[in-house]
Amino acid sequence: MDSVAAKIGWLALAAIGAICLGVIALHRGESINAIWLVAAALSVFTIGYRFYGRMIATHVLKLDPTRATPAQLRNDGLDYVPTDKWIVFGHHFAAIAGAGPLVGPVLAAQMGYLPGTLWILFGVVFAGAVQDFMILGLSLRRDGRSLGHMLRAELGNVAGVICMIGVLVLMMIVLAVLALVVVKALAISPWGTFTVACTIPIAILMGVYLRYLRPGRVLEVSIIGLVLLLLSIWGGGVVAADPAWAPYFTFSASQLAWLVIGYGFFASVLPVWLLLAPRDYLSTFLKIGTIALLAIAILFSAPYLQMPAVTKFVDGSGPVFAGNLFPFLFITIACGAVSGWHSIIASGTTPKLLANEREALMVGYGGMLVEAFVAIMALIAATALHPGIYFAMNSPAAAIGVDVQSAAAAISQWGFVVTPQDLLDTAKNIGETTILSRAGGAPTLAVGMAQLLHNIMPGEGMMAFWYHYAILFEALFILTTVDAGTRVGRFMIQELVGLAVPALQKTESWTGNLIATAFCVAIWGYFLYQGAVDPLGGINTLWPLFGIANQMLAAIALILSCVVVVKLKRERYLWVPALPACWLVICTLTAGWQKLFDPSPKLGFPAAAKKFADAIAENKITAPAKSIAEMQRIVFNNYLDAALTALFMLLVVAAVVFGVRTMLAARRLSRPSANEEPYVAIGASA
Amino acid sequence: MTVAVRDLRSFWQRAVRIGRQIIGVPDYENYLAHLRRHHPERALPSYAEFFNERQEARYKGGGGRCC
């Protein structure tokens, strides 16, 4: 009886999901309410979790509730601790959710809300959640080992090295592109700059409090920090309105890039308790709180989506990023649909905390579904904006010019009618002087969030408050990522260089520390600066590189999953990881190929380099460059980006070759050959 | 009234325990229990010592965090 009722319930949910998707996909002309997207997402995710996720748990990973997890086998009260599944879920989600799912969907909104929505919904169910869940499952059976360790054990040392190089380069690109998001958001914005700058003394205050005044009282100090942050938003408004103070906090993009580079260096050599850790705590709580707030704002204000379902920019001519829907949509929305980064987290702390294998379904698969929901909310916030505003904020100056008249004219010509006054009014409402060419996702999301929150909590001047709140919220965890990532990069560099110069390997030595940190900051700082001065806006160049790298890592993680499935003699289910693995390999290689060989300078790196090199040969200055030296730099940077793209493609191809070879070898064996730890029943070890 | 205060206090303590674990600080009481049970010869660290040690350990080497 119960099961009949359950079946009817699931059928009803499937019907609701199908109707919502139908409405979203077939609706044309009049704008559509965002609630349809929310309902479609919730139904697809619930069905995906209940059926696909559970199928993977039962048949592909064969999770066993009687089998002891690493947390139980090695319980040391510190690293390996059996923990309540909801807490593991919170910890895992806080680690995977970052700026990625917020930025990608906003950029992809240039193609309309439909392509992004469909990719997020189906990408997460069949690719992203599968990857996170499977890697978590594999690590659970291997003492909670990392992705690199597992690759070495299952595919050999060379595959392990490939992964290490891939992760290091990806990390540098991530740091550069995220820092660029902050730079783009704060350029010529004294309010934002003041508020974000305040997070440094606030974090230091919190650090001292946590260390000396009330050691380890994390929650109370975070509440104090939050109050101070809100005060700093208010203070930013006062500073921005003050003609004497505002200039001290008004910086161009390239000045801010230098400031962030300097910040990254100092922050990552300071002791962690002083700046990094307290701000990380604050940003984690703020992140979870703000995501909940965004969900409430969308539900209560139920905005209409003003962006068309599909815009003409699916043909690759869009101003935000170049390239056709295939493959670039699937590169642009990485986090939120599928993200290689997560495989590092799913094989990091999380597997050392789970008390039961079956809980991996909720934490691994479920955690990624929630991240996808965050991506859907970001997409809603961006597409609920007037498209004219959206394109003004996200198009480079090369496409729309530098003043509101030229911007309004250019955007209206694309079919999104907007007046110069609209652009000025929007800037004024959010307490800024301009909204033009603020690509990078954060400002657009902030305007979208500000409008949603303003809908449910109206009030004079509140738009500006919410806008800067949203900017602060993103900058807070991006800057945390920048200094934590610089530390990780420094350790990796010390490890790598230490092979040749053993003296540099001592991570406690200040000389080794400073040299490796400077080196690490120089790498991502180079790309950041390049992005900040790039006339096409930087995001245009760096985001696809980041997307390709991130999807490359996801492909490697899924190839590992394929190999283990074959080694365990479960070939019947090989398609589960193989389907997304193939798709990502196709997407990354096609995108890489186009970035390398497309004759259009907008898309192909070498084509762009050639355009400027030819002009240099004729001694002609080509806009938007202003001097021959600037043009030479553009040429060099484009070749550098091309080389990186080629490297990523090479890594993907190598991973495929190693994976296929290992799978063929494993097939010839008559017994399972994966390197799992032996079975121990729960309770048998205690 | 006292019941309300007690409820509030236990709610806050629960929030503190959950909050700490979400940001990666393991449960202190649980660690003490572990030490008493398996390593009775070792001295018990104070919460401040425990917290500082865990904070350092968390950011050493690989930092689990996404873009």
Q: What confidence tens digit (pLDDT) does each residue in A171-225 have?
A: 899 999 999 999 999 999 999 999 999 999 999 999 999 999 999 999 999 999 9
Dmax over CA atoms of chain A, in Å, equals 82
**Cβ separation A216–B47 shorter than 8 A:** yes
The Cα–Cα gap between A22 and A117 comes to: 13
8-state DSSP, A354: B
The Cα–Cα gap between A39 and A643 comes to: 43
The Cα–Cα gap between A535 and A370 comes to: 36
Q: What confidence tens digit (pLDDT) does each residue in A570-586 have?
A: 999 999 999 999 999 99
CB-nearest to B51 from A215, A348, A484 is A215
Q: What confidence tens digit (pLDDT) does each residue in A515-548 have?
A: 989 999 999 999 999 999 887 778 888 999 999 9
Q: What confidence tens digit (pLDDT) does each residue in A152-178 have?
A: 999 998 888 888 888 889 889 999 999
Please tell me the predicted confidence (pLDDT) of residue B62. 52
- pLDDT of residue A1 exceeding 70: no
Please tell me the predicted confidence (pLDDT) of residue B67. 47
Segment (H or E) for A304: strand A304-305
Segment (H or E) for A327: helix A325-332
Q: What confidence tens digit (pLDDT) does each residue in A25-36 have?
A: 887 777 899 999
- pLDDT of residue B1 exceeding 70: no
* In contact, A371 and A157? CB cutoff 8 Å: no
Residue B26 forms part of a structural domain: yes
- The mean per-residue pLDDT over the stretch A338-363 comes to 94
CB pairs under 8 A between A and B: 119
Distance from CA of A296 to the nearest CA of B (A): 21
Residue B61 forms part of a structural domain: no
**Cβ separation B61–A488 shorter than 8 A:** yes
Dmax over CA atoms of chain B, in Å, equals 49
Distance from CA of B3 to the nearest CA of A (A): 23
Write the class of the CATH domain A2-188+251-668.
mainly alpha
A347 by DSSP, 3-state: which? coil
A168 by DSSP, 3-state: which? helix
- pLDDT of residue A389 exceeding 90: yes
Q: What confidence tens digit (pLDDT) does each residue in A63-116 have?
A: 999 999 999 999 999 999 999 999 999 999 999 988 889 999 999 999 999 999
Residue A337 or residue A503, greater confidence: A337
Residue A129 or residue A456, greater confidence: A129
Confidence of residue A477 (pLDDT cuts 50, 70, 90): confident
pTM of the model: 0.95
Residue A468, classified by CB atoms within 10 Å of its CB into exposed (0-12), middle (13-18) or buried (19+), is buried
The Cα–Cα gap between A420 and A404 comes to: 5
Distance from CA of A77 to the nearest CA of B (A): 5
Bridge partners, A268 (sequence order): none
Confidence of residue A439 (pLDDT cuts 50, 70, 90): confident
Does B67 touch chain A if contact means CB atoms closer than 8 Å?
Answer: yes
- The mean per-residue pLDDT over the stretch A332-355 comes to 93
Please tell me the predicted confidence (pLDDT) of residue A166. 86
**Cβ separation B21–A97 shorter than 8 A:** no
Does B52 touch chain A if contact means CB atoms closer than 8 Å?
Answer: yes
**Cβ separation A98–B66 shorter than 8 A:** yes
The tokens describing A307, both together, are: 């962006």
HSE, side-chain direction, 13 A CA sphere, residue A556: 37
The count of structural domains within chain B is 1
**Cβ separation A485–B63 shorter than 8 A:** yes
- pLDDT of residue A686 exceeding 60: no
Residue B24 or residue A47, greater confidence: A47
Residue B27 forms part of a structural domain: yes
Mean pLDDT (chain A) is 92
8-state DSSP, A33: E
Distance from CA of B8 to the nearest CA of A (A): 15
Does B45 touch chain A if contact means CB atoms closer than 8 Å?
Answer: no
Q: Is A509 left (phi over 0), alpha (psi -120 to 50) or beta?
A: beta
Domains of chain A: which residue ranges? 2-188+251-668
Exposed e or buried b for every residue in A360-386, given b needs 16+ CB within 10 A?
Answer: bbbbbbbbbbbbbbbbbbbbbbbbbbb
Residue B54 forms part of a structural domain: no
**Cβ separation A345–B66 shorter than 8 A:** yes
Q: What is the DSSP string of A66-117?
A: TBPPHHHHS--SSSS--B-HHHHHHHHHHHH-SSHHHHHHHHHGGG-HHHHH
CB-nearest to A277 from B18, B55, B64 is B55
Q: What is the DSSP string of A12-54?
A: HHHHHHHHHHHHHHH--SS-EEHHHHHHHHHHHHHHIIIIIIH
**Cβ separation A342–B66 shorter than 8 A:** yes
| Residues of B with Cβ-Cβ distance to A174 under 8 angstroms | 67
Does B48 touch chain A if contact means CB atoms closer than 8 Å?
Answer: yes
**Cβ separation B16–A218 shorter than 8 A:** yes
**Cβ separation A78–B57 shorter than 8 A:** yes
Range of the domain at B36: 2-45
Residue B18 forms part of a structural domain: yes
| Residues of B with Cβ-Cβ distance to A146 under 8 angstroms | 62
| ipTM higher than threshold 0.95 | no
- CA-based radius of gyration for chain B: 16
Please tell me the predicted confidence (pLDDT) of residue A623. 73
Distance from CA of B45 to the nearest CA of A (A): 13
Residue B60 forms part of a structural domain: no
